[in-house]
Amino acid sequence: MTRQFTAYTKDYQEKCFTTWYSSNRPTLAVLHDSLPVDEHGRIPDVKLIRRWRNELGWDMRADELDVRAIELVSTDLVNDKANMLRRHAHMGFMLQEAGMAHLISGSFDSSSAAVSAVIRGAELERESRGIGELIVKMSKMSDEDINKEIMSRLARASDAGQVIDAEEDAGELDNTDTNQ
């Protein structure tokens, strides 16, 4: 009696890859237990699955799919944050408008509430439009405090093993040079 060999189809091999990838790349023994049967009622053994994984480049293909998935998620995160910042900027603008309208028409409980709305709205809009807190903080600092902040950040960077190439010229940062 002759035994006839029937190869697994490309579609079935693709189903095996999809099952493996969708299951987060389990070991082949674990994968074997979750594979569907082919059109002939068969499931390939682990040795054949390993051969397919190597010959068909499952790992490289899965890596490429992972990169694409990460890019999509990153794009979604960026879009979500951009939309949030747009909403916040709009709300900040609306608060400013409402505060200014009160100063003209009297719609807030008090003028101080209107002024507060204008200030808070401007802060919210500025933060949402990307002007960082550090810039705002530094704009309110004295030259001496800015110099201390820079030195503190340089010390932290140095402690973390980062190399920073810079020259310190206290006269430039301090603005207390009497020869001006």
Which residue matches tokens 């002024």?
115
**How many Å apart are CA 84 and CA 7, to the nearest integer?**
54
- Written as one string, the DSSP assignment of 149-174 is HHHHHHHHHHHTT--------HHHHH
Q: Tens digit of pLDDT for each residue in 107-131?
A: 656 778 777 877 877 777 767 666 5
How many CA within 13 A on the CB side of residue 4?
2
* Lookup: tokens for 106: 């009297």
**How many Å apart are CA 138 and CA 110, to the nearest integer?**
32
The pTM score is 0.50
Q: Tens digit of pLDDT for each residue in 12-22?
A: 999 999 999 99
**How many Å apart are CA 97 and CA 103, to the nearest integer?**
10
